[in-house]
């Protein structure tokens, strides 16, 4: 495989190869910024165009656009509190708060650099793991899926920060919403009220657009002034400080990238799960949790590193077994098949150059978009000084159009509006939107994997499989350790105070 690395690199940076890479990256940048659109949409748009193209150029174009989406999706998350894609949702919590503080350049610098480095990390792990990747993929089954979902739900307690009851209520509502649609065991429909639209359940993208974009638009309509309440730092130094912050929290970056890569390897889990698990990890491992949700730079570095590293991991089951690791990979899998390339165990042996092209295109597209985002960060930061009366209508229109563009269904727009009103009420009464989204993202996977585990392995299957048991123990430690540490600190403070008084 290594002997074909140089020819593959030359192919991608040659005249036509570089042109298609640039074109794909720019399209991915646009689709990532627009709410509701993302990797699957840009790939579906480009797929018919690639029918008459050479297979190498088609792969470069498609992978270039797919790789750019995750990086650019952070821009609107930071500037207007609207996730460009579902996998950028967690970036909103601290990114938009930094924007309100006039630190949009700092946030964009941190998001872009962690995204690019996360993509490089994922690609390196992908290159190393491809020869043995099938053993890792096969280690995950239904019990492991359930335990991962349980770990994600445990994040609700970790992220609550004193508002534990409100967080649990929001999480409970999120779980209830996932029960809408087909029952994974019996196939019966639940809570659809006789409408065909609800048979597949609540769609995640319109719901996220509503909870964040529409809700923020309503808030902005009711406020005066601009998004940034303080003086906006539009200097290059502000952006450079954001880039530097990634290296200041390099341990968190590495751990988050590992989380993203592992989540990517597991078929069907997706970037939204990686995003929230990495954010929850950042909060749970921080000594000072108070600033999360109020503009903590670590709340940007962790999710952005994870959602870009995820793409490298998602290529492992796609290339080794022909099992798409994500929705984007499903479309890419179709493109490879159309061009006569059959993913599977023989791909690495017979078409190592194709695998390398995919990896290089993924990394280089992130680098290209990262450079573009860093160059434009300072001018983009000035948007936050525009009056909210002008910004709010634009956000609302983009949100509604983005929700509709997801599947071309008008009911998706209504779902976005309904969830926008729910999000507004949650903001007003200080309920956790994070908890609701985590439950909404993980609920379906948790329910289906629970029943599948009982059917296939029995109740003991949750604890007799080593990996499932390890995930369960990690979840318990996540919940127990903060309590133990808090009690130890309290005891130490009491002893210290007694020593002073004595």
- 33-64 pLDDT per residue, tens: 776 566 666 776 777 677 778 877 888 888 88
Q: How many CB atoms lie within 10 A of CB 77?
A: 30
427: tokens are: 């903001």
Q: Is the dihedral of CA 444, 449, 452, 453 positive or negative?
A: negative
Q: CA–CA separation, 232 vs 228, rounded Å?
A: 7
- 185-195 pLDDT per residue, tens: 777 888 888 88
In the predicted model, what is the mean pLDDT of residues 310-338? 69
User: Mapping DSSP to helix (H, G, I), strand (E, B) and coil, where does residue 309 land?
Assistant: helix
When pLDDT is cut at 50, 70 and 90, the band that residue 135 belongs to is low
DSSP classification of residue 153: H
User: Mapping DSSP to helix (H, G, I), strand (E, B) and coil, where does residue 451 land?
Assistant: helix
DSSP classification of residue 219: H
- 66-93 pLDDT per residue, tens: 778 777 778 888 887 777 677 777 888 8
Select from 110, 7, 92 the least CA-distant residue to 360.
Answer: 7
Pairing of strands 189-190, 181-182: antiparallel
- DSSP H helical segments within 14-103, as ranges? 15-33, 39-46, 55-79, 91-100
Contact 104, 79 (CB under 8 A): yes
Q: Which residue has the tokens 């290529």?
A: 315
- 390-442 pLDDT per residue, tens: 778 877 887 888 788 777 889 989 998 999 999 899 888 888 787 887 788 78
- What is the enclosing helix (H) or strand (E) of 182? strand 181-182
Helix axes 39-46, 55-79, angle to 10 degrees: 150
Tell me the C-alpha to C-alpha distance, in Å, between residue 66 and each of 184, 217, 329.
31, 28, 9
Q: CA–CA separation, 183 vs 165, rounded Å?
A: 28
Domain ranges for the chain: 2-494
Confidence at residue 225, expressed as pLDDT on a 0 to 100 scale: 63
């Amino acid at each position: 495989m290594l002997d074909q690395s140089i020819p593959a690199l030359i192919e991608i940076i040659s005249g036509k190869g570089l042109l298609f890479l640039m074109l794909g990256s720019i399209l991915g940048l646009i689709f990532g910024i627009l709410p509701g659109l993302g990797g699957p949409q840009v790939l579906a748009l480009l797929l018919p165009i690639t029918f008459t193209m050479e297979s190498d150029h088609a792969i470069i174009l498609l992978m270039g656009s797919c790789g750019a989406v995750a990086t650019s999706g952070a821009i609107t998350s930071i500037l207007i509190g609207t996730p460009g894609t579902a996998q950028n949702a967690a970036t909103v919590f601290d990114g938009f708060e930094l924007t309100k503080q006039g630190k949009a350049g700092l946030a964009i610098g941190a998001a872009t650099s962690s995204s690019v480095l996360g993509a490089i990390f994922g690609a390196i792990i992908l290159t190393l793991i491809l020869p043995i990747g099938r053993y890792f993929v096969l280690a995950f089954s239904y019990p492991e899926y359930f335990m991962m979902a349980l770990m994600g739900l445990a994040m609700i307690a970790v992220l609550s920060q004193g508002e534990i009851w409100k967080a649990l209520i929001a999480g409970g509502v999120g779980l209830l919403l996932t029960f809408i649609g087909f029952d994974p065991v019996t196939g019966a429909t639940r809570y659809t009220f006789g409408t065909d639209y609800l048979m597949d359940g609540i769609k995640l993208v319109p719901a996220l657009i509503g909870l964040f974009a529409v809700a923020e638009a309503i808030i902005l309509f009711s406020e005066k002034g601009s998004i940034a309440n303080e003086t906006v730092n539009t200097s290059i130094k502000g952006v450079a400080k954001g880039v530097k912050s990634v290296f200041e929290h390099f341990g968190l970056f590495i751990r988050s990238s590992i989380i993203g890569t592992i989540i990517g390897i597991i078929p069907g889990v997706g970037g939204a799960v990686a995003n929230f698990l990495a954010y929850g990890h950042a909060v749970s491992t921080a000594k000072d949790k108070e600033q999360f949700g109020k503009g903590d730079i670590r709340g940007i570095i962790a999710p952005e590193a994870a959602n870009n590293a995820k793409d490298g991991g998602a290529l492992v089951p796609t290339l080794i077994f022909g099992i798409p690791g994500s929705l984007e990979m499903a479309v890419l899998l179709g493109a490879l098949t159309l061009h006569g390339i059959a993913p599977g165990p023989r791909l690495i042996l017979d078409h190592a150059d194709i695998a390398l092209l995919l990896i290089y295109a993924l990394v280089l597209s992130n680098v290209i978009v990262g450079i573009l985002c860093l160059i434009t960060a300072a001018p983009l930061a000035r948007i936050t000084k525009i009056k909210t009366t002008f910004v709010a209508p634009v956000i609302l229109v983009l949100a509604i159009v983005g929700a509709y563009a997801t599947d071309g269904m008008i009911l998706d727009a209504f779902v976005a509006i309904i969830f926008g009103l729910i999000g507004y009420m949650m903001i007003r009464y200080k309920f956790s939107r994070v908890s609701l989204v985590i439950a909404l993202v993980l609920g379906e996977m948790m329910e289906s994997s629970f029943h599948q585990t009982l059917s296939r392995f029995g109740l003991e299957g949750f604890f007799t499989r080593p990996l499932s048991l390890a995930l369960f123990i990690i979840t318990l430690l996540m919940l127990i350790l903060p309590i133990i540490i808090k009690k130890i600190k309290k005891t130490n403070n009491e002893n210290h105070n007694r020593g002073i008084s004595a």
